[in-house]
Structure 1
Amino acid sequence: MKHWIRRGLFGLATLAFLAGAGALAAVQMADTKMNRRIEVAGRDLHIPQDAKSLERGRYLYATRGCVDCHGANGAGRRFIDADGMRVAGPNLTAGPGSVTLGYTPSDWDRTLRHGVKPDGRPLLIMPSQDYNRLTDEDVGALVAYVQSMPQASGGPAEMQLPLPVRVLYGLGQIPDAASRINHDLPPEPPVPAGQTVAHGRYLAAMCIGCHGEKLQGGRIAGAPPSWPSAADLDDPLGVMASRYGDAAAFAAMMRSGKRPDGSGIAVMPFESLRELSDDDIAALHRYIRLRGTQVASGD
């Protein structure tokens, strides 16, 4: 009996050693990935200064999730503090602690559209897959608005990741934005605003980060374990058909953050979504519902 106990303990110790060595190797791989250099030629964007463009930039900042990570004043804010994971967005203004002071137009393009810092390293938590399909005009307007914001005190990004997240990142199970983007895609051509399917498709790009390229939902890459999976918006018999087939119900959810039965929806960035215009919400609903219809018909 003692012989088998010794063998069992030795086996457990061996497994523990191998697990520890594997975790250490994965963490080292994560550090290597975080410090890799990505060659992306940023576009030399035109940064407009006219009032209409600045207002468009303000609208984009309010509706595309910028407030969630950087705050209404652009100084940065902590937006994840759960399960041993702590993440804060950096100061985007030109005030003390700014990380964007000295950014060129191409630096802004690489950061926003490609998830790549000016020095070529990847941004681990940056929804660039959502911003990659923004038009040149919208990216320029967004940058113009950020540059016009009053100076505020802040600091660099804060990122404290628990060991399991670092291991999964090192093993490639959690991708950074730069690895999820086709950097060779040309900019999206301008799409006229309105309650149209085409405009809804353009708007739906902001859903990709959580709901996936095909809007089919699932676990959100890099999210804390306590976060629920993103809903499948493409399922013709799913949540869009059962709860939000009616445009008014969809608009009410986007404004209130609540389901038709009054229960709250976790994680969704309603601080930004509720700022969308009526036309944008209607266009987004029209596009998502059309996708579900096409899936059901096999198109």
Structure 2
Amino acid sequence: MRRVLAGVAVLALSGTAAIAALVVWPIGRPPAEIELTGDVQRGAYLARASGCIACHTNFEDGGAPLAGGAPLETPFGVFYPPNITTDPEHGIGDWSLSDFAMTVRQGVSPDGEPLFPAFTYPFYADFSDQDVADMWAAFQTVAPVTNPAPPHDVGFPFNQRWGLKLWRALFMHDPQTEPVEGKSVDWNRGRQLVRGAAHCGACHTGRNLAGGRMPDAVFAGNDDLPGGNKAPSILSDDLADRGWTVANLSYALQSGVTPSGDVFGGSMGEVVQNGTRFLSKSDLKAMAIYLLDSDVPEGRALAGTPSIGKTID
């Protein structure tokens, strides 16, 4: 009995030591200083494309732009996007450009804490220094809002941020936005937007029980989105089978109107209303070109992943 108790004690101490080591394990890399001049207009455009306004504005309650607060209901709890206005207390007014760069590209806060993956930072990892400088310049023009966003309502153990370090090690993937040799300029631009800023895979890819995107289900659809929404497959063959073309898909991303005359609803309607409708016609065409000829192999969806719908909600 003593040996059993001693073994349990050793295991407990080992587990405690492992957790303690994980808690103090530093993450993120201090970025090199960015000394580029940002372009406000380009930064505002990139912020729209990246969903910053859509996620950090509580439209239903008439919230101020980028003041946060719109609830995101998930199986792990309710997340509230933070205030990212220039208010120094409740927003990001006391941040530096380096703080902003590390947050956007690495998902690490200025104080070194990992951010919850409800924030789609994995898709922004390939943003260039110029991209970051442009976005930072645009955010500096946002009026400060003195109201804090509500705290996340996430229960134990998901509220333990040290656990996110393990999550990052297991489920963070390169966004794969780099140009592909032999492909057209439009195709590569579409790939950069779809896999990067527009983060289409955040909704249109199935997730495992830990909330990580499944590499073998990229673009294959997801029937379990926050708020009860669904996202169908956007694999190239599935899009073509449903009658999508470069012309009608780029138009739908701009207008929200589908080829049948219906309109996007749910979360896709919000994506168009607050994001893609602000993109240029050339960028929307590029996204459509890529989606209808993507480099995601057909049939990669794992057996048992969310079913593929025939309409876009």
- Give the structure-1-normalised TM-score: 0.68
Which position in structure 1 is the counterpart of 2:32?
43
Provide the rounded CA distance (Å) in 2 between the counterparts of 1:108 and 1:119: 12
SS of the counterpart of 1:285?
helix
1:279 aligns with 2:282: yes
Tell me: CA distance 1:105–1:220, structure 2 relative to 1, closer, same or farther (3 Å). farther
* Alpha-carbon offset, residue 265 of structure 1: 3.5
Which position in structure 2 is the counterpart of 1:267?
267
Provide the rounded CA distance (Å) in 2 between the counterparts of 1:36 and 1:76: 29
Which position in structure 2 is the counterpart of 1:65?
51
Which position in structure 1 is the counterpart of 2:235?
234
Unpaired segments ≥5 residues, structure 1? 1-24
Which position in structure 1 is the counterpart of 2:133?
140
Query: Could you tell which deviates more after superposition, 240-249 or 78-87?
Result: 78-87
Q: In the alignment, is the contact (CA less than 8 A) between 1:70 and 1:89 conserved in 2?
A: yes
Provide the rounded CA distance (Å) in 1 between the counterparts of 2:223 and 2:121: 15
1:197 aligns with 2:187: yes
Count, aligned residues: 254
Q: In the alignment, is the contact (CA less than 8 A) between 1:123 and 1:178 conserved in 2?
A: no
Q: In the alignment, is the contact (CA less than 8 A) between 2:77 and 2:153 conserved in 1?
A: yes
Which position in structure 2 is the counterpart of 1:123?
115
* Alpha-carbon offset, residue 264 of structure 1: 3.1
Q: In the alignment, is the contact (CA less than 8 A) between 1:113 and 1:129 conserved in 2?
A: yes
Provide the rounded CA distance (Å) in 1 between the counterparts of 2:22 and 2:240: 41
Which position in structure 2 is the counterpart of 1:19?
none
Which position in structure 1 is the counterpart of 2:12?
none
Query: Could you tell which deviates more after superposition, 265-274 or 255-264?
Result: 255-264
* Alpha-carbon offset, residue 149 of structure 1: 1.6
Greater Rg, structure 1 or structure 2?
A: 1
* Alpha-carbon offset, residue 66 of structure 1: 0.3
Q: Deviations over 1:153-177 (max 9, x none)?
A: 23256311367x939x9998x9569
Provide the rounded CA distance (Å) in 1 between the counterparts of 2:220 and 2:146: 37
Provide the rounded CA distance (Å) in 1 between the counterparts of 2:277 and 2:256: 8
Which position in structure 1 is the counterpart of 2:93?
101
* Alpha-carbon offset, residue 136 of structure 1: 1.9
Q: In the alignment, is the contact (CA less than 8 A) between 2:250 and 2:287 conserved in 1?
A: no
Which position in structure 2 is the counterpart of 1:21?
none
Q: In the alignment, is the contact (CA less than 8 A) between 1:244 and 1:250 conserved in 2?
A: no
Tell me: CA distance 1:288–1:33, structure 2 relative to 1, closer, same or farther (3 Å). farther
Which position in structure 1 is the counterpart of 2:8?
none
Tell me: CA distance 1:107–1:84, structure 2 relative to 1, closer, same or farther (3 Å). closer
The residue type paired with residue 42 of structure 1 is P
Provide the rounded CA distance (Å) in 1 between the counterparts of 2:223 and 2:109: 23
Which position in structure 2 is the counterpart of 1:77?
69
Q: Deviations over 1:6-33 (max 9, x none)?
A: xxxxxxxxxxxxxxxxxxx9xxx8xx98
Provide the rounded CA distance (Å) in 1 between the counterparts of 2:202 and 2:76: 22
Tell me: CA distance 1:258–1:80, structure 2 relative to 1, closer, same or farther (3 Å). farther
Q: State the 4+ residue runs in structure 1 displaced beyond 6 angstroms.
A: 32-36, 169-172
Q: In the alignment, is the contact (CA less than 8 A) between 1:84 and 1:162 conserved in 2?
A: yes
1:180 to 172, 181, 196: 172
Provide the rounded CA distance (Å) in 2 between the counterparts of 1:252 and 1:177: 39
Tell me: CA distance 1:116–1:181, structure 2 relative to 1, closer, same or farther (3 Å). farther
Tell me: CA distance 1:170–1:265, structure 2 relative to 1, closer, same or farther (3 Å). farther
The residue type paired with residue 41 of structure 1 is P
User: Considering only aligned residues, what root-mean-square deviation do their CA atoms show, in Å?
Assistant: 4.1
Q: In the alignment, is the contact (CA less than 8 A) between 1:47 and 1:105 conserved in 2?
A: no
Aligned-pair identity (%): 23
* Alpha-carbon offset, residue 148 of structure 1: 2.2
* Alpha-carbon offset, residue 145 of structure 1: 0.6
- Give the structure-2-normalised TM-score: 0.66
Q: In the alignment, is the contact (CA less than 8 A) between 1:75 and 1:154 conserved in 2?
A: yes
Tell me: CA distance 1:135–1:220, structure 2 relative to 1, closer, same or farther (3 Å). farther
Q: Deviations over 1:120-153 (max 9, x none)?
A: 2111021111211222211210111102222222
Provide the rounded CA distance (Å) in 1 between the counterparts of 2:280 and 2:264: 21
Tell me: CA distance 1:90–1:56, structure 2 relative to 1, closer, same or farther (3 Å). same
Which position in structure 2 is the counterpart of 1:4?
none
Tell me: CA distance 1:137–1:39, structure 2 relative to 1, closer, same or farther (3 Å). closer
Provide the rounded CA distance (Å) in 2 between the counterparts of 1:144 and 1:232: 36
